Chain A
Amino acid sequence: MSHAAVLAADVVSSGEAGAFWVLGPIALAGAIGMVLSRNAIHSALWLVLTMLSLGGFYFVQQAPFLGAVQIIVYTGAIMILFLFVLMLVGRDYSDSIVETLRGQRVAAILLGIGFAGLVGGLIADATSGVESVGLAESNADGGNVAAIARLLFTDYLLAFELTSALLITAAVGAMILAHIEHESGSRPGQKEQSIARIKGPRPQTLTGPGVFARGNSVAAPALLPDGSVAEDSRATGMKMRQPPAIASGSIDDLDDVTVDSGANRDGVPT
């Protein structure tokens, strides 16, 4: 049996039990949803749900510091960063989900269930009948936050300090993988670009999309006074809508007609 000495066991309050039965399924649903979603953003959002529920668990179990950290750091910072990255990369970007390995999925599901069942069963078995000790003792001196601080700066000082190496490595790694170091002078700076623009044939800004158009989408090219498309208002890299034909035809069904201006990215008039 576990050595956890039986000290002034608190009975699990009904409120705590209730919170568990509410948050538990939500956390589980979040986790399952995260795995099963085909859309990466949905997965991230499902994960946020799980993280929030876990934060809730911590609060209920008298660990307010951990709960706050869980919500602020994981949900607030890390998951939002995740979402940022996913948005930047493009939300349609997804890998093929066709499984090429024979038996991979079946085996993975079986082994996953087996492992979860085994460990879950063992833990359930090992902890059943163990009476809760309660946090009164460890939170006695100055509360939960102070107790954590004390541990961090005594028993786990080295582990705590060591994480700095981990953080430096992570920062350096991010720099390596994301930062392209350009040799000075190899690219025009802001100043050079400004000078070049003033000296060039067209010092003013390019026409924005949507001018005189019926929509304000970035995909709607600007129209010149004669109703023709202002070519330099076309945004690069996306499908532009067909400008409304003034002279003829209905303009109501324009939304369905799109042309691919991909071949026209460099502004060459068609």
Chain B
Amino acid sequence: MPDLSAPSISYLGLAPVLIVLGAACIGVLVEAFVPRHLRWNAQVSLALLGTVGALAAVILVAGRNELTAARAVAVDGAALFIEGTIAALGALSILMFAERALDPAKSAFVASAALPVGSSADRKLATAPYSQTEVFPLASFAIGGMMLFAASNNLLVMFVALEVLSLPLYLICGMARRRRLLSQESAVKYFLLGSFASAFFLYGLALIYGYSGTVDLGEIREVAARSGASDALFVTGLALLIVGLLFKAGIAPFHAWTPDVYQGAPTAVTALMASCTKVAAFGAILRLLYVGFGTSEWTWRPLIYTIAIVSMVVGAILGITQTDVKRMLAYSSIAHAGFLLVGVIALGDAATAGRGLSSTLFYLLTYGLTTVGGFAVVTLVRDGDGEATHLSKWAGLASRSPLTAAVMTLFLLGLAGLPLTSGFTGKFAVFRAAIDDGAWPLVVVALLASAIAAFFYLRLVVLMYFSAPAEDGPTVGVPGLPTTIVLAVTAAATVILGLAPGAVLDLAEQAAVLVG
């Protein structure tokens, strides 16, 4: 038997992922060995340590461009930017997980997920001071998976990372303390549909392997270039891979799960899914399309073009008739996924200096921050049953709590892409890159969709400011330190990236490198 030489692994390059996954593993041990009354603090600090440490590691290794672990993982500008974005947004989401001041029951997570809903033990634990602290290591696993998902240069690693990020999310979706049935329903839906989509991805992977004999993105590109990529296996495999990724990114027509799951899951989890998962999925889409299938661009380009239009239009139009804030934000995320695809289309080549890539990266960051902020505000508006997410409950919120309404307005304007907010800068950059790339019809559609979407964002603003407050309206909770930090960071980012985005745009420009 010949010698077996293990592949060299750049632990520094993998450090961001390893730190988060390591924190998750330690979190599982904490769950087993630390007494219950200490667990909450231990888990919160561990999860924060993991995500913030990952962010620090990203900053430390910035500037590297290499493939490591037998070409399985890319450590390049785009991957590191996305890993940093995910780590930062993940840290903010973890802070939302850790909020204890808003709910009278101290936590948004159920005390004991195994108890049947409505059983006497369950009712007794409804106000228990403790909760399932496993959500923190699970969230860390998910965040680690997302980071690797966006950095994987190998379809097999990409698939495993996809599962690593999905499985914990399925679990924590179902762990809301209030409205448990809705939460569990969302978890089951997400799980079933996620598995379905994973199957498509896996099938696509198998077909691509059958075609090229490799799962390495760089080698796939070479094989495709050599053989002219005319084989039906190749095309079908690519189509199925894309289906799997589009599902994760919540892009129409694979978006159906989004509103139900976003609505049912605990809001902190929704924030994690709406921001980090989307960023990770787009990281993977960019890498798959440009590294793996860059030479066969003309195969997928018309399709992505069409899907971008469908997603923008579906998200914007369906958002109009929503009556629940979380569902509305879910449709907003579908529309935004379409806008992001505009950036994917406009990635450009060396001639345009990767302007499309850098603007897509920037858009991901701004969208993620604003979305997390929006969901953080949703956690504040509460009534006796927990969060009051029905739109009618938000009527006249400005007279009840001007600051909350003002902050929400800021986020909504950011999502609508009005000037002087980060949303405008992001849209402007992406659309401009698309126009430079000749995709102006797409930009026209995107602008129309933005206008339609602005309607439902502004409707909420109008509702908050110009409607009479309801008699039995919700109260606005006073957030504790964690949510206050989240709101401060996201609001400041929404304003600063709108007023002075220069530095971050430069950063994104420097990071616009894909290797592999």
- Residue positions of A touching B, CB distance < 8 A: 1-4, 119, 122-123, 125-127, 141-142, 146, 150, 153-159, 162-163, 165-166, 168-170, 172-173, 175-181
Chain B residue at smallest Cβ distance from A133: B213
Contact check, A169 vs B164: say whether CB atoms are below 8 A apart. yes
B residues 369-423 near A (Cβ < 8 Å) are none
Chain A residue at smallest Cβ distance from B216: A155
User: B86 in the interface, Cβ–Cβ < 8 Å?
Assistant: no
B residues 133-180 near A (Cβ < 8 Å) are 134, 137-138, 141, 144-145, 148, 154, 156-157, 159-161, 163-164, 167-168, 170-171, 175
User: B257 in the interface, Cβ–Cβ < 8 Å?
Assistant: no
| Binding stretch for chain A, among B98-106, B111-119, B313-321, B426-434 | B111-119
User: B38 in the interface, Cβ–Cβ < 8 Å?
Assistant: no
Instruction: Contacts A169-B138, A172-B137 given; indicate if A126 touches B112 (C-beta within 8 A).
Output: no
Contact check, A176 vs B115: say whether CB atoms are below 8 A apart. no
Contact check, B233 vs A122: say whether CB atoms are below 8 A apart. yes
CA gap between A33 and B58 in the complex, in Å = 51
Chain B contact surface mostly: helix
User: B223 in the interface, Cβ–Cβ < 8 Å?
Assistant: yes
- CB B148 to nearest CB in A, in angstroms, measures 7
| Subset of 6 A-B contacts with CB under 8 Å | A123-B210, A126-B211, A154-B6, A165-B145, A176-B175, A177-B113
- CB B234 to nearest CB in A, in angstroms, measures 9
Contact check, B2 vs A176: say whether CB atoms are below 8 A apart. no
Given A154-B70, A156-B70, A172-B28; 6 other pairs, CB 8 A cutoff: A125-B232, A155-B7, A159-B72, A159-B157, A165-B164, A166-B163
- Cβ of B12: which chain A residues have Cβ within 8 Å of it? none
- CB B411 to nearest CB in A, in angstroms, measures 32
- Cβ of B141: which chain A residues have Cβ within 8 Å of it? 165, 168-169
User: B79 in the interface, Cβ–Cβ < 8 Å?
Assistant: no
Contact check, B4 vs A154: say whether CB atoms are below 8 A apart. yes
Instruction: Contacts A154-B5, A178-B114 given; indicate if A165 touches B132 (C-beta within 8 A).
Output: no
- Residue positions of B touching A, CB distance < 8 A: 1-2, 4-7, 9, 21, 24-25, 28, 31, 69-70, 72-73, 112-115, 121, 132, 134, 137-138, 141, 144-145, 148, 154, 156-157, 159-161, 163-164, 167-168, 170-171, 175, 203, 207, 210-213, 223, 226-227, 231-233, 236
CA gap between A2 and B228 in the complex, in Å = 10
CA gap between A4 and B236 in the complex, in Å = 18
CA gap between A169 and B167 in the complex, in Å = 7
- CB A66 to nearest CB in B, in angstroms, measures 14
- Cβ of B167: which chain A residues have Cβ within 8 Å of it? 166, 169-170, 173
Instruction: Contacts A2-B211, A165-B144, A180-B112 given; indicate if A141 touches B1 (C-beta within 8 A).
Output: yes
CA gap between A170 and B175 in the complex, in Å = 15
- CB A92 to nearest CB in B, in angstroms, measures 19
- Cβ of B121: which chain A residues have Cβ within 8 Å of it? 180
CA gap between A175 and B211 in the complex, in Å = 41
- CB B38 to nearest CB in A, in angstroms, measures 15
CA gap between A146 and B233 in the complex, in Å = 29
Contact check, B70 vs A153: say whether CB atoms are below 8 A apart. no
CA gap between A39 and B235 in the complex, in Å = 39
Instruction: Contacts A122-B233, A125-B232, A126-B232 given; indicate if A1 touches B164 (C-beta within 8 A).
Output: no
Chain B residue at smallest Cβ distance from A142: B1
Q: Which are the 4 A-B pairs with shortest beta-carbon distances?
A: A122-B232, A158-B72, A158-B69, A142-B1
Contact check, A180 vs B115: say whether CB atoms are below 8 A apart. yes
- CB A150 to nearest CB in B, in angstroms, measures 6
A154's contact among B7, B73, B138, B163, by CB below 8 Å, is which?
B7
Instruction: Contacts A2-B233, A157-B70, A169-B141 given; indicate if A162 touches B164 (C-beta within 8 A).
Output: yes
Contact check, B6 vs A153: say whether CB atoms are below 8 A apart. yes
CA gap between A168 and B168 in the complex, in Å = 10
Instruction: Contacts A155-B70, A163-B160, A165-B24 given; indicate if A172 touches B231 (C-beta within 8 A).
Output: no
CA gap between A126 and B236 in the complex, in Å = 11
- Cβ of A3: which chain B residues have Cβ within 8 Å of it? 211-213, 223, 226-227
- Cβ of A179: which chain B residues have Cβ within 8 Å of it? 114
- CB A148 to nearest CB in B, in angstroms, measures 12
- CB B189 to nearest CB in A, in angstroms, measures 15
- Cβ of A154: which chain B residues have Cβ within 8 Å of it? 4-7, 70
- CB B249 to nearest CB in A, in angstroms, measures 21
A157's contact among B24, B69, B112, B148, by CB below 8 Å, is which?
B69
CA gap between A157 and B72 in the complex, in Å = 9
B138's contact among A123, A155, A157, A172, by CB below 8 Å, is which?
A172
- Cβ of B24: which chain A residues have Cβ within 8 Å of it? 165, 168
Contact check, A176 vs B4: say whether CB atoms are below 8 A apart. no
- CB B228 to nearest CB in A, in angstroms, measures 9
CA gap between A168 and B236 in the complex, in Å = 33
- CB B83 to nearest CB in A, in angstroms, measures 15
CA gap between A156 and B69 in the complex, in Å = 9
CA gap between A174 and B232 in the complex, in Å = 41
